[in-house]
Structure 1
């Protein structure tokens, strides 16, 4: 199948009614940067590193308010207990493959020690999903140089999505997946705030788009390869809203809830985690809980769209031992959405010609 990777909105698939930021990405939150390093030999290695870097952290500012939600703790999230205990983030957030997480954490430690030569205690935050289905994970190819490169070259532009960085070898919902991102802007208490999400998708279930199931066995007739259940999802949520660590925990839980919208199975072996942080200082007066609903909606919608982007932007990949994971066929998805009444075609375009120029039906 030869198709161009396209984001959900480029295909006419719009999640919710809230406006996005200019890039529709986590980097719409000011001073949040993203960097990738991809390790791909075209054969047995399909892995890498993705770093989310709050640029406010440095010599003049050691921590940002943060929280972690453990949807299912079948995973390795280095540094999470201190975030839970103190309610702060002290490092870039790095994502990689399961057996590379420990080397990656040591690399982040190098970064933090270089930043603070006098420090004697640091808390790297490094998460993972298991990309062993397509990559020879036991080779542990991620090095300190890869991690430092991802952190050091992180930028405020639109992050690459799909088969890149920590998403190079991941799969989700029966298809090739990867990295995805999205954002929303909401008005709360008279101020406009941005919520952004970035995901590393690698979990089981039945792909669901705008409420319409899209089983891999139906969309890809050659879908006959083995596929392990579970395998996890990492979700990072950033905002500029004045919320405290307790409220960020509530946002992080909504991020895990949003996985259900795209058909997550929440399997036994799926380590599902969300990390939420705010770029505002620890607020003396955080938003009243009664005003936080728009942020909940922004998290749910941005995570759902980020998950769809992680799939729609991925490409068919042949990995270790010749395993093939197929990309989501955009054409079949759009046809099903039209049939279900979730999309409408432009005037003069019939369902059999569905490709672009679609919009969500009322």
Structure 2
């Protein structure tokens, strides 16, 4: 069950119809999940892919910006995002040791879609979190076929959460973690725009877990931690993708990405040296940006743009923070029990147990 199905409402904003990143028109999400025994090794990993618009990203670029709260993680393509402010490829999320193959496959897909690739290049954005407690990460079991499958599975509509795609082997606040999503729809007087979020949650200590501001993790400490055998509580990372249909410029996208830090902090995360906390935001509100074709000679000298005035941007920041907070809780609630190769349990957190612990903190259903 998701947070709102349990009566847990986080923040003051109103979710979109799906309460997912796909509430932003045009955004599609696809997963490829790998759960197998390969050469005697336990494999629990995958790829999650986000397409920012309904068509090819190269032909319909959108403005983007990123923020790094803690850099113990990796991502490709961010330097060009920071320089040009443009997102021209799909986004992918996987495990730490599979960034390269996912990036190379996305490049090959771009090459194969071009009539003449001689004067075009691309630098896809691929991000990661570490799944080495549940997955044979050194085996590098992700291949091109998994990227192709995630691409083929990309669709609008409800987003699968939990142990799917890149989130298959992830652990969050010492419970089973993974993919989570949420959204907020601003009222008409604030622009009527939508902010959608997808997280790959693999971070946090249990004792610091908070839900709706209540220190619920302190009442869940009797549940065995998967880190008792190896590793350190809080190790891992979180990747956050924020999408909006508001007309934001690149520096405003960067400001929006920064607000992911607030949502993570509200759930008790964001303070670990061993966590890579990387966030990217993109905005589809400007529809007519020139296609990413660096060989063209007929581009106009300038392009007319729209932007949200800064005096009216705060509701978008609030929406992003709330949606990140809820997406993390949804990721945890979607998790189911999984064991490591050594037989150590990574427990899922079911809704009944969470509600019981919440009531112990003094929380009451709104």
User: Normalising by the residue count of structure 1, what TM-score does the alignment of the two structures yield?
Assistant: 0.89
2:187 counterpart SS class: strand
Choose which of 269, 277, 291 in structure 1 pairs with 2:274. Answer: 269
Alpha-carbon distance in structure 2 between the residues aligned to 1:222 and 1:151: 37
Alpha-carbon distance in structure 1 between the residues aligned to 2:141 and 2:58: 34
RMSD of aligned alpha carbons: 1.9
Alpha-carbon distance in structure 1 between the residues aligned to 2:201 and 2:124: 22
Match of 1:353 in 2: none
Alpha-carbon distance in structure 2 between the residues aligned to 1:332 and 1:59: 42
Match of 2:166 in 1: 166
Choose which of 254, 261, 264 in structure 2 pairs with 1:256. Answer: 261
Q: Map of 1:28-67 to 2, 5 A cutoff?
A: 28-41=23-36, 44-58=42-56, 61-67=59-65
Match of 1:226 in 2: 230
1:219: how far off?
4.4
Match of 2:358 in 1: 337
CA distance 1:235–1:265, shift in 2 (3 Å): closer
**1:214 equivalenced with 2:209 (yes/no):** no
Alpha-carbon distance in structure 1 between the residues aligned to 2:139 and 2:266: 35
Match of 2:143 in 1: 143
Match of 1:10 in 2: 5
Moved more, 127-136 or 207-216: 207-216
Alpha-carbon distance in structure 2 between the residues aligned to 1:226 and 1:131: 13
Match of 1:350 in 2: none
The question of whether the paired residues in 2 share the 8 Å contact of 1:174 and 1:207 is answered with: no
The question of whether the paired residues in 2 share the 8 Å contact of 1:35 and 1:151 is answered with: yes
> Any idea what the Cα deviations from partners look like across 1:272-296, whole Å, max 9, x if unmatched?
0111001122672311111001101
> Any idea what the Cα deviations from partners look like across 1:138-196, whole Å, max 9, x if unmatched?
01111111001101220001011001111110001111101000000013656311000
CA distance 1:201–1:185, shift in 2 (3 Å): same
Moved more, 270-279 or 115-124: 115-124
Match of 1:68 in 2: 66
Match of 1:3 in 2: none
The question of whether the paired residues in 2 share the 8 Å contact of 1:188 and 1:294 is answered with: no
Match of 1:355 in 2: none
CA distance 1:54–1:103, shift in 2 (3 Å): same
2:192 counterpart SS class: strand
2:193 counterpart SS class: strand
1:216: how far off?
7.0
Aligned length: 340
Choose which of 321, 344, 358 in structure 1 pairs with 2:342. Answer: 321
Alpha-carbon distance in structure 1 between the residues aligned to 2:241 and 2:62: 14
1:11: how far off?
1.2
Alpha-carbon distance in structure 2 between the residues aligned to 1:68 and 1:59: 18
Match of 1:87 in 2: 85
Moved more, 24-33 or 205-214: 205-214
CA distance 1:179–1:162, shift in 2 (3 Å): same
Structure 2 unmatched runs, 5+: 290-303
Match of 1:240 in 2: 245
2:30 counterpart SS class: strand
Match of 2:294 in 1: none
Alpha-carbon distance in structure 2 between the residues aligned to 1:57 and 1:266: 38
1:17 counterpart SS class: coil
CA distance 1:81–1:227, shift in 2 (3 Å): same
CA distance 1:266–1:188, shift in 2 (3 Å): farther
Alpha-carbon distance in structure 2 between the residues aligned to 1:279 and 1:295: 14
User: Normalising by the residue count of structure 2, what TM-score does the alignment of the two structures yield?
Assistant: 0.88
1:197 counterpart SS class: strand
Structure 1 unmatched runs, 5+: 1-5, 344-358
